[in-house]
Amino acid sequence: MRRIPIFLLLASGLFAQSIRFAADRQVFLLTTSQSSYAMGIAPDGSLRNIYWGAPLWSLDDLPALTPARELSSFDPRQMMENEEFPGWGGTRYYEPALKIVREDGDRDLVLQYVSHRIAGNDLDISLKDIRDSVEITLHYRVYPELGIVSRSATIRNGTPQPLTIESAQAAAWYMPAGAGYQLSYLSGRWAAETQLVREPIHEGMKVLESRKGHTSHGFNPWFAIDQGDANEESGRVWFGALAWSGNWRITVEQTPYRQVRVTGGFNSFDFSYPLKPGESLDTPAFYGGFSAAGFGGASRTLHHFERERILPGGAGARLRPVLYNSWEATEFDVDEAGQKALAGKAAALGVELFVMDDGWFGARNDDHAGLGDWVPNPRKFPNGLKPLIDSVNALGMDFGLWVEPEMVNADSDLYRAHPDWVIHFDGRPRSELRTQMVLNLARDDVREYIFGVLDKLATDYPIRYLKWDMNRPLSEPGWPEAGPADERKLWVAYVRNLYRILDRLRAKHPSLEIESCSGGGGRVDLGILERVNEVWASDNTDAFDRLRIQAGFSQAHAARIMSAWVTDIPNWVDGRSVSLSYRFLVAMQGALGIGSNLNKWTTEDFATATKMVALDKRIRATVQNGDLFRLFSPWAGDLTANQYVGADGRQSVLFAFRHSQQYNSPVPTIRLRGLDPRAMYRVESIDRKLAEKQPQLSGAYLMEAGLNVILRADFDATAVVLDRVE
């Protein structure tokens, strides 16, 4: 359904090009299947936003820009002109996209259009300061069939004197002028990530950010804005996601002039980036989209885009395998015999990827020692990792390994050899969190060392998968060798070197897959997602809590990205106990994993799990690559229901969860979505918890009359599989 509008428009020749420019009025029109984005060059040379919203097709509709009217000497016209990339200069008082200081102290920056270049779906617009050669190239890339526009900027010092950047943003986005907007964002903390918040936008500025050096559990760099009337299925929603895994910031401002602006890029807090003459800085990319089909439509667009254009392998990437990880079962107590025993049991369940977590290296018996020493512990693995990996492979599973390459314990050979390699200010405390410090990845020698360690592991052993962890934020961000003028480059250089290591590793070991973990979901953003195959969404594996964590996660990220494990009860985070099938049905909505202590499972547990793993393999293409319809939100009431529709429309799966029962009342009827009303579907309840007994039902009936699941007592769950009858 989603692709029909662009197809029709393209077929009718109304816009054969995704980017058009009208020279007479100096306006640009960028168009995707779901949105248009328009801007123009004003008579004073400023580049200004004209429109962002549903698709427009007529370039002739766009007006030439005229100067805004000054309201008073306190309200200059620049404040009402929606500049695409405002410098901090002249009479501009809102959040700038760029703020600099030149060596001679001049901080004024007024940017004017110089030229542009259109090449296919790419548009580069050059801007320059009115006086000197501070040169900006704005990069726009249109993804016509995916409904996304990406924006980023390159800032170049073309002047003969050094300058320092104090704020560098990727983009400023503007909603249509008005009031009554609502902002949706994802906030959280460790073990409670991606909680969805929606609140009115009032005058003033809301800041979403990380100052921790990684993306952070606190906020995810994603936003959605609606006009107060959108819901899951309908209404206009503007959304964006920033591709940066370090200090980032998104500000949402409503001005007194009914402008709603979203500005995002590097966090300007503690930011200072010197550029010598001829040097430049690239900002991260900020992806934006629009949907007229509510928050569900916005998420499906973003998911589709991530699957096709962000994740490694794109549309052709293999489905995420069923994984086993023993962390919650064994913690640091790993050894060859114990892991082999678990591997045998995991293989019998149908697990495809066996991952050994923390504890396998150096003097790592708890979290006080060993980080940095990436050689197998000789007591636990007297013959190295090969015997274990061989036996995992012989069981038909791939092998994966946990690493935390950015970190070091004081009690490690690496720290004893290179105390200067950690991030620190000379003569100041080096704060430890989880008794570990952070290596200064901004240093090229540290980068080379880490790449070398990981490259050796991936070369010496047939490792298919690395779980790359990062268990604390940065602190005391000094870089003594860089010197005071340059040391704040660390915030950017750290992340760029992290990306370089990941890029080089994947290039050298093309079948190596990587999971991004940062104490759960501390590093989930479109920057890291270009380089990893999945992420650990949260250390909180309580299935009921996960419903909300996953619902928030699904606002911004596709199901296949989200690693989700079934673990033991009572859950270690909150002590809650829910049935094994409930835990499986929650985890199956991402990339299924098992993290239980299989040595403690009963025969019945094995039987349930074997059935559930087989079910997962039957439906995972639908979940991982399909469209998600959030039918009942876990924040709204007693029932949570999610439905996935496969990309080819041949299968759909409904998952339903009940929190608690009172007065023997039934759960509401669930009307499905995204089906073909004229098609027939074979209806299969996995556990007879369905009132409808008809073996087949039409799409029209399923979507209009709906299904009635029978969920009783507390924490009951079920699933219904619908296969289209050809």
What is the binding site for ligand GLA (CB under 6 A)?
Answer: 327, 357-358, 402, 469, 471, 517, 519-520, 536, 539
Nearer to ligand GLA, 595 or 699 (CB): 595
Q: Which of 539, 568, 616, 627 is catalytic?
A: 539
Nearer to ligand GLA, 226 or 539 (CB): 539
Distance CA 250, CA 38 (A): 22
Nearer to ligand GLA, 173 or 327 (CB): 327
Instruction: State the nearest-atom distance from the C-beta of 561 to ligand GLA, in Å.
Output: 16
Q: Which of 357, 373, 398, 469 is catalytic?
A: 469
Instruction: State the nearest-atom distance from the C-beta of 519 to ligand GLA, in Å.
Output: 5
Distance CA 30, CA 1 (A): 22
Distance CA 200, CA 182 (A): 4
Instruction: State the nearest-atom distance from the C-beta of 392 to ligand GLA, in Å.
Output: 18
Count CB atoms within 10 A of the CB of residue 489.
Answer: 18
Distance CA 152, CA 141 (A): 9
Nearer to ligand GLA, 235 or 519 (CB): 519
In the residue annotation, 469 being an active-site residue is answered as: yes
Using Cβ positions, the residue closest to ligand GLA within the complex turns out to be 358
Contact present, 277 and 161 (Cβ < 8 Å): yes
Query: What b/e string do you get for 188-205 counting C-beta neighbours within 10 Å, with b at 16 or more?
Result: bebbbbbbbeeeebeeee
Name the residue type at position 320. R
Contact present, 382 and 447 (Cβ < 8 Å): no
Residue whose C-alpha is closest to residue 421's, from 374, 478, 368, 468 = 478
φ and ψ at 616, to 5 degrees? -55, -45
Grouping H, G, I as helix, E, B as strand and the rest as coil, residue 515 is: strand
Grouping H, G, I as helix, E, B as strand and the rest as coil, residue 21 is: strand
Distance CA 298, CA 376 (A): 46
Nearer to ligand GLA, 179 or 433 (CB): 433
Nearer to ligand GLA, 149 or 470 (CB): 470
Between the alpha carbon of residue 406 and those of residues 266, 500, 540, the distances in Å are 21, 13, 23
For residue 634, whether the previous peptide bond is cis, meaning omega lies within 30 degrees of 0, is: no
Count CB atoms within 10 A of the CB of residue 326.
Answer: 27
Distance CA 55, CA 3 (A): 13
Nearer to ligand GLA, 246 or 400 (CB): 400
Instruction: State the nearest-atom distance from the C-beta of 414 to ligand GLA, in Å.
Output: 17
Count CB atoms within 10 A of the CB of residue 51.
Answer: 21
Q: Annotated catalytic sites, by residue?
A: 469, 539
